[in-house]
Chain A
Amino acid sequence: MTATLPQILATFGSGAVWLALLAGVIGGLFVGAMPGLSATMGVALLVPFTFGMPIMPALALLIGVYCGAIYGGTITAILIRTPGTPASAATIFDGFPLAQRGEGGRALAVAAAAAVSGGLIGTLLLILLAPQISGFALRFGAPEYCALAVCGLTMIVAVAADHPVKGAVAALGGLLLATVGIDPISGYPRYIFGAVSLMEGVSFIPALIGLFAVAEALRVADAGPTPVTRAAAPHGWIVGRWDALRCAWTTVKSAVIGTLVGAMPGAGCDIAAFLGYSEARRAARPDEPFGAGEVKGIAAPEAAKTGATSGAMIPLLALGIPGDSVTAVMIGAFVIHGLQPGPLMFKEQHGLVYSVFALMLVAHLAVYVFGTIGARMFLRLVDVDRRFLAPVILLLSVVGAYAMRGNMVDVWLMLGFGALGYGMHRGNFPVAPLILALILGPMAEENYRRALVMSDGSLAIFWQRPIAVALLLLAAASIALAVRRRRSSRVASKSAAGP
Chain B
Amino acid sequence: MKRHLNIDPIAGAGVMVVSVAAAIGALRFPTPSGAVPGPALFPLVISAILAAFGVVLLVSGLRSASPTTRDAPTMRRMAGLLGLTVIYAALMPLLGFVAASALFLTLAIRFLGYVHGWRTGAVALATAFVVFWLFAVVMKVPLPEGWIG
Give residues in A with beta carbon < 8 Å to B: 48-49, 51-53, 165-166, 168-169, 172-173, 175-176, 179, 183, 185-186, 188, 190-191, 214, 217-218, 221-222, 224-225, 385, 387-388, 390-392, 394-396, 398-399, 402-403, 406, 408, 411-412, 415, 418-419, 422, 426-429, 444-445, 448-449, 452-453, 456-457
Contact = CB atoms under 8 A, between A and B. Distances in A.
Contact of A408 (B11, B22, B46, B93): B93
B108 A172 contact: no
Interface in B1-30: 7-8, 11, 15, 18-19, 22, 25-26, 29-30
A53 B138 CA distance: 10
A415 B86 contact: yes
Given A179-B42, A190-B39, A411-B89, A392 B127 contact: yes
Contacts of A168: 53
B39 A176 contact: no
B131 interface: yes
Given A168-B53, A449-B41, 14 more contacts: A166-B57, A169-B53, A186-B32, A190-B25, A190-B43, A221-B81, A387-B109, A392-B105, A398-B88, A403-B143, A406-B141, A411-B92, A427-B68, A445-B42
Contacts of B140: 52
A342 B23 CA distance: 32
A222 B77 contact: yes
A contact face: mostly helix, strand, loop, or mixed: helix
Nearest to A50: B139
B36 interface: yes
A156 to B, nearest CB: 15
19 contacts: A165-B60, A166-B57, A173-B15, A176-B43, A183-B39, A188-B39, A387-B109, A387-B113, A387-B114, A388-B123, A391-B112, A394-B104, A395-B104, A408-B89, A411-B92, A418-B82, A418-B85, A427-B68, A444-B42
Interface residues of B, number: 62
Contacts of A49: 134-135, 139
Contacts of A403: 135, 139, 141, 143
Main secondary structure of the interface of B (DSSP, over half): helix
A452 B85 CA distance: 46
Nearest to B51: A172
Contacts of B54: 169
B11 A390 contact: no
A225 B89 contact: no
Contacts of B43: 176, 179, 190-191
A169 B15 contact: yes
A354 B75 CA distance: 48
A175 B134 contact: no
Nearest to A426: B7
A453 B86 CA distance: 45
Contact of B108 (A391, A419, A429, A444): A391
Given A176-B22, A176-B47, A426 B135 contact: no
Contacts of A183: 39
Given A186-B32, A426-B68, A457-B37, A169 B131 contact: no
B142 interface: yes
Interface string B82-108: 100110110011000100010011001
Nearest to A429: B11
Contact of A406 (B8, B114, B142): B142
For the complex of A and B, 6 pairs with smallest distance between CB atoms? A457-B35, A391-B108, A183-B39, A387-B112, A172-B50, A403-B141
B72 interface: no
A427 B70 CA distance: 10
Nearest to B48: A172
Contacts of A175: 42, 46
A179 B50 CA distance: 14
B44 to A, nearest CB: 10
B38 interface: yes
Contacts of A390: 81, 108, 112
B114 A172 contact: no
A419 B42 contact: no
B109 A388 contact: yes
Contact of A218 (B7, B81, B109, B131): B81
A48 B131 CA distance: 12
Contacts of B128: 395
Contacts of B53: 165, 168-169, 172
A285 to B, nearest CB: 41
Contact of A165 (B56, B88, B139, B144): B56
B138 to A, nearest CB: 8
